[in-house]
Amino acid sequence: MKNIKRVIPRPSFLSNRRSSKKPGQAPGTLHFTGEKKLESVVMNLYDYDSEQLAEHDLSEIDDSKPYLDSPSKTWINICGLHDIEKLKEIWGYFELHPLIQEDILNTHQRPKVEEYTDHMFFVLRMMTIDEGTGELKVEQVSIVLSNNSVLSFQEDEYPIYEPVLHRLRSGAPRLRKNGPDYLAYALIDTIVDHYLKVMEKLGDEIEELENEILEKHHDSIPEKIHALRRKLIYFRRTVWPLRDSLNSLLREESHLIHEENKIFYRDVYDHLVQIIDGIENYRDMAMGMMDMYMSQVSNKMNEVMKVLTIIATIFIPLTFIAGIYGMNFEYMPELSWQWAYPTVWGIMIGATIGMIFYFRKKDWL
């Protein structure tokens, strides 16, 4: 008979991982490691100051030159990372460092913050939970900050930055008046706000699992707990390096982030600390749920064993009596006695009732 092994499906946020480059390739070698999610690269430009906002869809990066040469602030959001030649035009126009280019294409990059001569580079992960499947959905996001502009790169056209766009369109004075460093903060803060929503969803999932453990005792519970723990571990690996990178950024001088705006980056850092604390608490709760489930399984097994033991104990004297009178000795006085048969039955029934009464008195039944 063949052994049947149950396979737990690999979640999508851990699937399709490919190395950013082959062994021996030079640093800065361009190699896209993600999946093609759009037919073509989409570029949206937002140029603004305290008085006006201009929005344009760009077909070529050269179309942004009039806006970049003006004193206003410019934000260009690029969706789609599969067309390397198109992206090279963008990177060449903004003179991005080859290592920045490589990291943008490596969609499994570790979240980080790096400062170059003319740019500051942020790598983050956008995280949401699918309402239907409960699966963690992950998309890498890159942000490049310069003196008068912000570039943001994402794999898909998911409206990550809709809250920021709403603030720009509604004329939010702080966002409109501050420089590109404040815009970069607003984009990062929007992503971190999504982390808080993920935390809320995971909290609901933990609560549902606790109720399921207490009420249903399904065999699928260990698998669900394992999937939850895997989400929490991945979530922590996403948030922890970003927290450390922002902490280093706040401690150092930077010509791209003004001192008056560092307090907003510190607020993002505080949110990340809060999220990490929540993740640690949830991990402890997940471990506790597994212990609780195993304890309940053990208790259920003990109850079954107790019932079987009581049944076996009741039958011990009955088996003993039946065994004695089942022996084929020639001389057994009781066999010829008129009341032998009903007497044996009476003893057996009485012993059974007596033991049941005793077990109930001891609360074993």
Query: How many Å apart are CA 214 and CA 44, to the nearest integer?
Result: 51
pLDDT surpasses 60 at 334: yes
Asked whether residue 286 falls in the same domain as residue 326, the answer is no
- Would you place residue 133 in the very low, low, confident or very high pLDDT band (cuts 50, 70, 90)? confident
**Is 315 found in the same domain as 258?**
no
Same-domain pairing of 186 and 330: no
Q: Do both 199 and 132 map to the same domain?
A: yes
> 53-58 and 42-48: which strand pairing?
antiparallel
- pLDDT digits 0-9 by tens, 249-281: 999 888 899 999 999 999 999 999 999 999 999
Q: Which domain holds residue 50?
A: 30-295
Count of other CB atoms within 10 angstroms of residue 202: 22
Q: Which amino acid is at 126?
A: M
Structure tokens given for 141: 């996001």
In the chain, what are the helix, strand and coil shares in percent, each to the nearest 5? 55, 15, 30
For residue 24, the model assigns a pLDDT of 53
Name the least confident of 7-11, 83-87, 257-261. 7-11
Residue 335, pLDDT score: 72
Query: Could you tell me which residue, 323 or 332, shows the higher pLDDT?
Result: 323
| Long-range Cβ pairs for the range 105-109 (8 Å, 24+) | 105/20, 105/30, 105/31, 105/32, 105/33, 105/34, 105/81, 106/20, 106/31, 106/33, 107/32, 107/33, 107/34, 107/81, 107/140, 107/155, 108/17, 108/18, 108/20, 108/33, 108/34, 108/140, 109/20, 109/140
Q: Does 193 map to a domain?
A: yes
Half-sphere exposure of 190 (CA within 13 A, CB side): 18
pLDDT (tens digit per residue) in 183-234 = 999 999 999 999 999 999 999 999 988 888 888 767 788 888 888 999 999 9
Instruction: Check whether residue 271 and residue 123 sit in a common domain.
Output: yes
Higher pLDDT, 211 or 29: 211
Structure tokens at 236: 């922590």
pLDDT tops 90 at residue 163: yes
What pLDDT does 11 receive? 60
How much is the pLDDT for 136?
A: 86
Q: What's the domain count of the chain?
A: 2
Q: Give residue 22's pLDDT.
A: 56
158 burial (CB, 10 Å; 0-12 / 13-18 / 19+) is middle
The closest of 32, 254, 246, 281 to 155, measured between CA atoms, is: 32
* Residue 241 predicted with pLDDT over 90: yes
Final residue in a domain of this structure, among 270, 295, 320: 295
User: 2: how many CB neighbours lie within 10 A of its CB?
Assistant: 4
CATH code (residue 349)? 1.20.58.340
Residues 122 and 253 in one domain: yes
Identify residue 299 by its one-letter amino acid code.
N
Query: Is 354 in the same domain as 261?
Result: no
The rounded mean pLDDT for the chain is: 87
CB 52 within 8 A of CB 124: no
Q: Label residue 8 by pLDDT band (50, 70, 90).
A: very low
Q: Does residue 201 or residue 363 have the better pLDDT? A: 201
Shared domain for 239 and 143, answered yes or no, is yes
Q: Is 141 inside a domain boundary? A: yes
Is position 217 within any domain?
Answer: yes
Share of the chain above pLDDT 70, in %: 92
Residue 314 and residue 290 share a domain: no
**pLDDT value at residue 38:** 83
Question: Is the per-residue pLDDT at 94 higher than 70?
Answer: yes
Residue 3, pLDDT score: 40
Q: What is the CATH number for 59?
A: 3.30.460.20
pTM of the complete model beyond 0.85: no
- Name the nearest CA neighbour of 31 among 21, 42, 39, 41: 21
pLDDT of residue 6: 43
Are 284 and 316 within one domain? Answer: no
Nearest by Cα to 111 from 93, 98, 123, 97: 123
